[in-house]
Amino acid sequence: MIRFLLPLLLLLLSGCQPGNPMDDLLDDYLKRISRVTEIDPAPHKTARDPALPPLKERIYDIPDIRMKALAALDLLECPRLSKVVAYRNSSLGRQMLPSQRLHYEKELLNELTGCIQYLQETEPDSTILPELQSITVRKEEQLPAIRWNALFGHVELAKQLTLQPESLPDEQTGQAGTLNTLLYLNHYLPDQTLSTPYTKMEMEEHLQQLIASHYSGQLIRSAIRLTDTLNAVAYLLETRLKQRPLCPNGRLMPTAERLQNVFRLLYASQIQAYLSRIDREGSAWRSAMKQLLQQLPPPPSEPMQAYLQQITSDQTPFGIWYRLDQSVKRHTSAWQAVLSECNLMPAGR
């Protein structure tokens, strides 16, 4: 009997899982305003959600130039370079992750430079010097694209930037680890020392921090949910004001009182603080992302460029942060009109 009841019990429990409290709060805010105004919410989504482009559109195609030529050279005078080249041609070397490839290319360039300097001092007429110099130049030209791929071809950052179904919860989660990693990457990318803290192991450890949360994707979702909710509430208030006065001849009516209660109990007491937090954290996150992008070449495709503008710019009209700012202004203006008409504006405003 128990084995038949257990699946049913699990099913019932799964249906009772708590939702995201902030998303529930925003939903409740909109529903209450709709109920008080007796107006159904209109479709309020004005822009498509940002979608991370597929892998082929977000990374550079980088040919593995001249590795066979390097392997064929007589590098007995430069054993460390020979070892690095041999690793790249091994089975492990051919399966490197994008972040590991970046570290390898830095190591290879260091060894190429060291070998060239050694040969120039000991064997200036060496026949392999021109070949090594040519490969070094081409490898240096490839490095910006390899830096780009180390980030946007890596599963950790891709997971971070993927839009999540839920907003950030009301407690602090993931911000510190995400921003620390972005700051570390901002210094790691241009570094050529390959010494602590810019080692391959340190790099992977920082990238692992991104897996610990979906902070970026939840932050982006929070901005979108706030934008949609504030626009929807503004629409309801604007529509109600056009229909008939809320406070005819200055008389305070029940509808106006109920609206004021919703404003005070939900928006002013709870949502406004969350909005301020998302604005503040969004500013810090955008700053870290922009600094990181400054270390990199332009995006490899138009979809990737548009996507990054959409999530990092507060000036682009189709960007999520610009739209959030506009929704706040519209929402504020709608409430000012309602509260002013009924002489309910807070003192000092």
Q: What is the pLDDT along the chain (349 residues), one digit of tens a residue?
A: 444 444 444 434 434 445 688 999 999 999 999 999 999 987 766 668 899 999 999 999 988 765 666 766 677 888 898 888 888 878 888 888 888 899 999 999 999 999 999 989 988 988 888 888 988 999 999 999 999 999 898 888 888 889 999 999 877 678 898 999 999 999 888 888 888 888 888 888 888 888 778 899 999 999 999 999 999 999 999 999 999 888 888 788 899 999 999 999 999 999 999 999 999 999 999 999 999 999 999 999 999 999 999 999 999 899 999 999 999 999 999 999 999 988 887 655 4
pLDDT at 7: 42
> What is the pTM (predicted TM-score) of this model?
0.87
Name the residue with tokens 């005819």: 248
Q: What is the DSSP string of 297-317?
A: PPPSSHHHHHHHHHHH-SSST
pLDDT at 18: 53
Residues 59 and 74: their CA atoms lie apart, in Å, by 34
| Contact assessment for residue 216 and residue 177, using Cβ atoms and an 8 Å cutoff | no
pLDDT at 245: 87
pLDDT at 26: 96
pLDDT at 321: 97
- Return the half-sphere exposure (C-beta side, CA atoms, 13 A cut-off) of residue 181: 22
Rama region for 36: left / alpha / beta (φ>0; ψ in -120 to 50; rest): alpha
Would you kindly state where each structural domain of the chain is located, as residue ranges? 20-52+214-341, 60-152
pLDDT at 197: 83
| Contact assessment for residue 244 and residue 300, using Cβ atoms and an 8 Å cutoff | no
Residue 226 CB partners (closer than 8 Å, separation 6+): 26, 274, 275, 278, 324, 327
* Nearest CA among 59, 285, 316, 49 for reference residue 160: 285
Residues 120 and 3: their CA atoms lie apart, in Å, by 79
Task: Identify the DSSP state of 91.
Answer: T
pLDDT at 60: 95
